[in-house]
Amino acid sequence: MMLRRHLLFLLSGLGIFGVEGTKSKPRGAHGQFPITQNVTALEGSAANMTCRVEFNDNTSLQWSNPAQQTLFFGDKKALRDNRIELLRASRQELSIRINDVGLSDEGQYTCSLFTMPVRTTKAFLAVLGVPRRPVITGPAAPALEGQAVALACASAGGKPAARIRWFRNGQEVQGTTEVSPSGKSWTARSSLRLRVDRGDDGAAYTCLAEHVSLAEPYATTEVLEVHYAPNVKIVPLAGVPQEGHYFKLECVSRGNPVPEPVVWSKDGGELPDAERLIVEGRELTFTALNKTDNGTYRCEASNHLGAGVADYPLFVYDPNAVGQQGPDHALIGGVVAVVVFVTLCLIILLGRYLARHKGAYLTHEAKGSEDAPDADTAIINAEGNHMHAEEKKEYFI
């Protein structure tokens, strides 16, 4: 009896008979096909493969892998693979699980129902390759200002290939991406080319790898280092420099490498040797200003790429003079300008008035000479009129 069972099992695996091949089958059993579904699984996870039939009279179901190797025949395991286990075996269902799925497990799996003839259905197992974290490669040494720099980012093992994006301090920038096969997976590479300046020093460049298998994209960040010559400025750290008051200047220098130390000078020479003049690193402190401190102070900072200088003209005010300044000079200048403008307008108007009255006088003086027959008569008439005018003037008086 046991030998008969083993023989039937072997014949069933070859698709010749069912396990109980001599039994009659219910109506509809010969025409039905197994029901399966395609499955998608992440690399390293588990994939469940299920095969069902509606009617079965104890005819065996079988799962085979893409290489047509039998995995399970009913509840009997046929392939020695510890990753594969049986979930459920019944007349209507055969379910198995493949643990720790790899890319090599992808392909068409076959569920067979051993009727006469054998009925088969295919189910495709798609395995998503999880990409590895992106790796950024860049310049081996700090870049120099103005230099052309290339950054490269690669993420291998993706299936399908990962999508790579670049960001500079959180703002997306465009790179050039290419994809190449690597066995059953893909490697995505992206490059970013730029000409750096001092604004790129300390800039964070992030390579982001996005993939359907990832809930959150992988990110790798590279902070760029750029060397550049220093720039310098002098900042006063007090109010108006007044005689007898405390006053401080700070030399602010920015460069990479950091320019240390800074050098102070006055009017092209060394600083005067005075107890009330103190140099502490980048700060120049006057404990009590006086008129001898007037002059131009210079701060110089340098590194191996160059030097930067800044000048500050210092004028020490007399506290009393400052107190007498009172009115705003700009306001006074404006008032003076208005007064000058009004005066000029008055002069112009007065000149026009005088010119107009002088013309009227000449016109009246010549009146009466228009109808004279000759020049002598015209003169006499003009003089006569003038005399009459004088007489009238005397009369009215």
Q: Compute, in degrees rounded to 10, the torsion defined by CA atoms 268, 274, 276, 278.
A: 60
372 confidence band (pLDDT: 50, 70, 90)? low
The pLDDT score that the predictor gives to residue 137 is 95
Average pLDDT, the chain: 82
Task: Quote the pLDDT of residue 335.
Answer: 64
C-alpha distance from residue 91 to each of 15, 20, 52, 203, 331 (Å): 17, 12, 9, 65, 106
Residues 118 and 7 in one domain: yes
- The reply to whether 194 and 120 lie within a common domain is no
Mark which of 190, 224, 258 sits at the end of a domain. Answer: 224
Out of 128, 153, 186, pick the residue that ends a domain.
128
375-396 vs 329-365: helix crossing angle, rounded to 10: 110
Closest CA to 377 of 388, 385, 369: 369
Same domain assignment for residues 19 and 122 = yes
Over 80: is that where the pLDDT of 381 sits?
A: no
Whole-number pLDDT of residue 359: 53
| Full-model pTM | 0.62
Q: Tell whether the model's pLDDT for residue 34 goes beyond 90.
A: yes
* pLDDT tens digits, one per residue of 50-101: 999 988 777 889 999 999 999 999 999 999 999 999 999 998 999 999 999 9
What's the pLDDT score for residue 147? Answer: 95
Using the structure block, give the residue that is written with the tokens 């003169």. Answer: 379
Where is the domain boundary, 86, 103, 128?
128
Do 52 and 116 fall within a single domain? yes
Structural domain boundaries enclosing 356: 331-396
CA distance 196 to 224: 9
Same-domain pairing of 10 and 120: yes
Residue 376 pLDDT more than 80? no
| Contact yes or no for 97/48 (Cβ under 8 A) | yes
Number of domains observed in the structure of the chain? 4
Considering the domain architecture, whether residues 11 and 123 belong to the same structural domain is answered as: yes
Question: Residues 41, 55: one domain?
Answer: yes
Which CATH number does the domain housing residue 256 bear?
Answer: 2.60.40.10
In this structure, the answer to whether residues 210 and 293 fall within a common structural domain is no
Token representation of residue 110: 């076959």
Q: Do 101 and 49 belong to one domain?
A: yes
- Residue 205 shares a structural domain with residue 266: no
Residue 28 pLDDT greater than 50, yes or no: no
Statement to judge: residues 194 and 234 lie in one domain:
no
What percent of the chain clears pLDDT 70, i.e. is strictly above it?
A: 78
Mean pLDDT of 310-324: 80
My answer on whether 354 and 377 are in the same domain is yes
